[in-house]
Structure 1
Amino acid sequence: MTSFSLPHELHGDGAHKVFAVHGWFADRSAYAAVLPDLDRTEFTYALVDMRGYGAAKDAVGAYTTNEAALDLVELADRLGWERFSVVGHSMGGAVGQRLLAVAPHRLRRLVGVSPVPASGLALPPEQWELFADAAHQPANRRAIIDVTTGGRRPDAWLDRMVARSLAVSDQKAFRAWLDSWAGEDFHTRVEGSPIPALAVAGALDPALSADLLRGTWMTWYPRAELHELPSAGHYSMDETPLELIRVVEDFLRADSTDGTDGTEGAEGTEGAESSGRVSEGERA
């Protein structure tokens, strides 16, 4: 059986390797607005398409955050990346946290941009219906994007975001991903992880707010940081790209200036082998 490898594109040639993982509504093009201004000397970025999106739109799979974390480790092995950082947006933030259980010794730093907590996201019945039906209802996708950006963005931008989302995602995979990122709670598997973890929230986002992250991300991770972007909603890559780059890259650079590399104490993280490779319990 041929193993699956995540489609990806590389940017930069720096020593610090970084995966960029998209969210529920987009493929790797979610990072298009930040690409021109990334530091390509210090970092090498790999932008990936998760199963069901972009160049992996037709890829079969379980469409879960656990499967996605395993896919990232497999790609890291193919690229020869022994250790790496991860930047994950929304659903991609949950994927990044799965790596804390799957392969903590491989991680240098973790960044969640409006990240879904490792506890999932409890949605009232009417909101669940809105999200679940977004798989086949473009109007629902538009409503979700509008609400999570504070109702302040131009109609043309909202229409463009919806059109991109429809074009780059498989409908069945899109729906299946919701059950994983919203419905699965794995926070006890990663609670206490010593990996430096930055959460970036948008002040205009009522769904994944700074307050929500204070009660989740900031309580679970001893070396957690939280930064709120005052002019951003849920899609800071598009809304405030320069501000986002500065916050994220300053955090990643601290890996080489604070005298640590995020491995201290990682041996105790549940679900990991002492080698730092994928734990067998996560393969199921």
Structure 2
Amino acid sequence: MAAVTSDGAPGERSGSGGSGVSGKPVALPHTRVGEGAHHVIAVHGWLCDRTSYDGIIGDLDEQTFSYAVPDLRGYGEARSTPGACTTSEAAGDILALADSLGWDRFSLVGHSMGGAIIQRVLVAAPERVRRMVGLAPVPASGVPLRDDRWELFAGAGERPENRREIIDDTTGGRCPAAWLVRMVRASTQRCDPAAVRAWLDSWALEDFRDQVRGFQVPVRVVVGSEDPSLTAEVMRATWLQWYEAAELVEMNGAGHYLMDETPLGAVRAAEDFLRADGGE
């Protein structure tokens, strides 16, 4: 497996809540995998950095695809990179990364919050996007979190116990305790708490569905049958309503963290769909 890590542009996080704005997009630190002609950028979710894709990286098709897997601002090697921590800002960073790689056109994969971000990329530069795959993806309408649920998520940046409860709940309470410990440890070590809180306001509260309606880019959304929130029904009412060429795959025996729970199924669901685009 050919994987190369490149550096982004780290700096000091300004202010509380990750609200300082860097002023321009940055080419994010990232892992490169593969040498194929089909370029793919895979965007991670809310509670971990790019290592959330580690469970599937070894099984990717390196001959057909070239992957870039970045850390978003506030995560991993970009943990101290200043910014507003919004999905629209992240779209600018993803496009800057593609520019730095010399990728004029590319496909996008987004897990959870990353699903909202890849839609922002599409809105910003539709001519550059070949295909999109959402893995348990946040819709462009955001995610309603009310009362105690909002408090649980809003406190996740500072409270590891909140992160554990969220991860356990969104996987249907089915995963081993040792896995939950590992997930929470990774999240705590690799995420800036202020950034985690700031990102929540963007992916949960922003509604840009009117900007994505009618796009004809091929889209596949993949959900786990045990995910209690981002369900197949939610996808049918959101993604499949708004995109002209959208389809749904439901993975049995998985919750929200498909790359850990059903890694080979996640790879097949994503790559079979991406491979159907034979263009250069």
CA distance in 1, matches of 2:241, 2:67: 29
Determine the structure 2 residue equivalent to 1:117: 139
Letter in structure 2 aligned against 1:146: D
Distance 2:132 2:121 in 1: 9
**Deviation sequence 1:27-84 (CA, Å, 0-9, x none):** 0000001011100000000010000000000000010000001101111111000000
Query: TM-score scaled by structure 1?
Result: 0.89
Q: Does 1:177 align with 2:202?
A: no
Q: CA deviation at 1:2?
A: 8.0
- Call closer, same or farther: CA 1:3–1:132 in 2, change over 3 Å: closer
1:81 matched to 2:103: yes
Partner of 1:103: 125
Aligned residue number for residue 21 of structure 1: 43
Provide Cα deviations, 1:72-116, integer angstroms capped at 9, x if missing partner: 111111100000001000000000111121100000001100000
Q: Aligned residue for 1:65?
A: 87
Q: Is the partner of 1:50 in helix, strand or coil?
A: coil
SS at match of 2:255: coil
Residue 229 of structure 1, CA deviation: 0.2
Q: Are the equivalent residues in 1 in contact too, given 2:25–2:93 (CA < 8 A)?
A: no
What RMSD in Å do the two structures reach over aligned CA positions? 1.2
- Aligned to 1:157, the other structure's residue is in SS state helix
SS class of match (2:250): strand
Cα distance in 2 for partners of 1:159, 1:107 equals 37
Q: TM-score, normalised by structure 2?
A: 0.90
Counterpart residue number, 2:157? 135
- 1:140-155 alignment, distance < 5 Å: 140-155=162-177
* Residue equivalent to 1:11: 33
Provide the rounded CA distance (Å) in 2 between the counterparts of 1:129 and 1:2.
32
| TM-superposition CA deviations, 1:225-272 (whole Å, max 9, x none) | 10000111000100000011011100001111xxx78xxxxxxxxxxx
Which of 208, 212, 223 does residue 190 from structure 1 map onto? 212
How many pairs align?
258
Q: 2:268 corresponds to which residue?
A: 246
Q: CA deviation at 1:3?
A: 5.7
Task: Give the equivalent residue in structure 1 for 2:238.
Answer: 216
Partners of 2:138 and 2:203 within 8 A in 1: yes
Shift of 1:4: 2.2
Alignment partners' CA distance in 1, 2:257 and 2:25: 32
- Percent pairwise identity: 56
Superposed CA deviations along residues 105-154 of structure 1, whole A, max 9, x for unmatched, are: 00000110000000000111110000001111111100000010010101
